[in-house]
Amino acid sequence: MISPPIVDGLNEKQQQSVALDEDINALILAGAGSGKTRVLTHRIHYLVSTKNYHVDDILAVTFTNKAANEMKERLSDLLRRPIGRMWVGTFHSLAHRLLRTHPIEANLSPTFQILDAQDQFRIIKRLMKENGVDETKFPIKKVQWFINQQKDEGILPHEIDAGYNFFVKQSAKVFDLYERHCQVNDLVDFAGLLVKSYGLLKNNQSLLEHYQNKFRHILVDEFQDTNRIQYQFIKILHNQTNHVFCVGDDDQSIYGWRGAKIENIQKIENDFKPIQVIKLEQNYRSTGNILSASNALIANNQNRLEKSLWTESGDGDLINVLNARTETEEAQYVVGEIQTQFNQGRNLDECAILYRSNAQSRVFEESLIKQNLNYRIYGGLRFFERAEIKDAMGYIRLIENTSDNIAFERIVNFPTRGIGLSTIEKIRSYANENQTNLFQSSIAIVDSLPSRAANALQSFIHLIEAISDSSKNLILNEKVDSILLQSGLMSHYANDKSDKAGSKRENLDELVTAATQYVHEEDNEMNETQGFIALATLDSSGESNQSNQSSVQLMTVHSAKGLEFPVVFLVGLEEDLFPSRQSKDEPHLLDEERRLCYVGMTRAMKSLTLSYASRRFLHGQSFYSLSSRFLDEIPKSFLNYIKNESTENSYQGYEKNTNVSNKMIATSDSIYSIGQVVKHAKFGLGTILNYEGSGDSMRLQINFQKAGTKWLISSYANLEIV
């Protein structure tokens, strides 16, 4: 008989999991919102309070420090005492503790140091330089990514078979040099903590047996997110006298791009026999319609461990589906709905906007700022605060104004071009002594520098002058695009292997789109480029991203895992965006995209809106989009298709003769109509797509043949009807 406090508030399957026979291994398939954390903590409570195990007999592994701390707090409350130095933590923190306990056996000194990513980068860079490895052919971050990838797989330098792959051969060489350097200098990087801990146990039989006997029960959370070395770490600790209790959900495995192996959770039944599988399918988060739609979607994946979520909370509202004409219209609708919810008394932090790529945040940020609604980018920065955007704006600012010293300092050696700190200090000194800016100072001193430094600085001066000359007659979006290409930023971030999701490159593409959609007031004292710079500066310095205010939550679907919100907007559900273009032709990648969509949908508690745009700007160009296949996989009985008023006047093509609404638009000085061809003095011929506002403040959306789509204030545009 289980004492009531242990099972209070638990459903039948949760109770079964908690009170499972202590002599059996278990896989708890815990669906979204099914209370897996409660099961884990109550299981430990059961083992300690009912089966008389000591807390030191238990190893509990989580994936985040937050989850580990939450588990410790819950256990302290349940056990009504501090849990002391119980082995609860992340894989890396527990591996670190193991190495600190046995440094000598791990061939380390007791004072070994842990390297962070930046430290690791600097060491790899120096070793490559010292050993003649050309970083232009072998980018440092790409080599760093290769090294960490091998470590996540538990692969050592001598185990790599490079074959005829020259990159792998050179990277393996650097990997070997790096490992030797770390060994000599008593250094361990983040990925190396697990590699060395596994090696410590594998190569010390007596020590392995000690910990196998010590940890009578091994509990692992989020098992579907384990990589190869993490799986091996758990496997080696398990023997026939201790037992594993794994909790996870293969339907929420979304981190394949960073090394997680979904097959790990599928291998458990073979590697940890005998094992009992228990499914937690009762959901305490979402309404019935949300769960039924999510179940239908994920059922399209093959080779999954089948389960079906259900709830006792009723069906709730149907899932709203919005087909917006453009991403701008999509953002306006979503923000408008949030405004309505706010006016009706809902807190802003109860509303979340989820997207596939963080570049999508910009258009929603812009709309939220216009509505004066606070927002927060969860797990990231606002669009114009992101490093790659600041780099790009640095080039734009310096080309527009060579007196901009802040911009100069940011980009003078980025991407790396051999301009060192010594050269920069000489530039600063000359500028201070002669009361001039850093760019003019560079021109003045370049001939006095040693040849290598002079050549590097001269190349930078020529680059800025060349970009300035070639872009001066371009319209804004073409100018931004040209600067990104000529500066080398686009190629730099495209080759940045540390950016596994490709988000930095996507953000640069979105900057071109921002320039395309930028509306410059014709009577503004600033020119168009200056106005765009001002917009970026103001957007990045606002206060609406402060976490202490009630704020709309913006985040990628990856960042949303583990969270829940009463109101969720899952946006950008279009082919080539969600699922991503890179995933469409690979069945296992498409399955992961579907799991990601499933995770996004199951974040919603009460209200879920799925949206897509028929036309979207990408890299400054307008493209037609097809709705995501994921929408087609959801039965229509769970969906409510929204009729957005602005879509009724939507433009369906680019040519004058296409079938568009001829609704008349009365402005203060003229009458236009949607579909009408007009001429602008700067942008040339274009077609009116849409409008908003009225009177002198009315804005017209016009698709120009050469300049793309822009919003213009009708009273300033001086349009000529063709």
Residue in 14, 41, 230, 252 annotated catalytic: 252
Helices (H), 327-437: 327-343, 361-370, 387-400, 405-411, 421-434
**Catalytic pick among 15, 16, 22, 37:** 37
The catalytic position among 356, 603, 629, 710 is: 603
Distance CA 460, CA 13 (A): 66
One DSSP character per residue, 23-81 reads TSEEEEEE-TTS-HHHHHHHHHHHHHHTS---GGGEEEEESSHHHHHHHHHHHHHHHTS
Please say if 252 is a catalytic residue: yes
Q: Is 81 left (phi over 0), alpha (psi -120 to 50) or beta?
A: beta
User: Exactly one of 222, 365, 391, 574 is catalytic; which is it?
Assistant: 222
Burial 478-500, CB ≥16 within 10 A → b, else e: bbbbbbbebbebbebbeebeebe
Q: How far apart are CA 462 and CA 475, in angstroms?
A: 22
Catalytic (active site) residue 149: no
Residue pair 464/398 in contact by the 8 Å Cβ criterion: yes
* Nearest residue to 23 (alpha-carbon basis) of 339, 254, 245: 245
Going from the C-alpha of 392 to that of each of 205, 366, 488, 489, the distances in angstroms are: 55, 19, 10, 7
Whether 602 and 563 have beta carbons less than 8 Å apart is answered as: no
Q: How far apart are CA 488 and CA 463, in angstroms?
A: 10
Cα 466 from chain centroid (whole Å)? 35
Q: What residues does 217 pair with on adjacent strands?
A: 58, 243
Tell me which DSSP letter residue 376 carries: E
Q: Which of 36, 38, 43, 595 is catalytic?
A: 36
* Cα gap 482→395, rounded to integer Å: 11
Cα–Cα distance, 305 to 299 (Å, whole number): 10
Distances (CA, A) of 570 to 108, 175, 211, 589: 48, 41, 45, 20
- Residue pair 605/286 in contact by the 8 Å Cβ criterion: yes
Report the C-alpha gap between 88 and 649 in whole angstroms.
58
Is there a catalytic annotation at residue 232? Answer: no
Alpha-helical (H) ranges within 185-216 are: 190-202, 205-214
Which one of 221, 481, 509, 591 is the catalytic residue?
221
Query: Is 603 known to be catalytic?
Result: yes
Task: With CA atoms as reference, report the closest residue to 141 among 158, 157, 125, 165.
Answer: 125
- Let me know: does 561 contact 595? Beta carbons within 8 Å: no
Active site residues: 36-37, 221-222, 252, 603
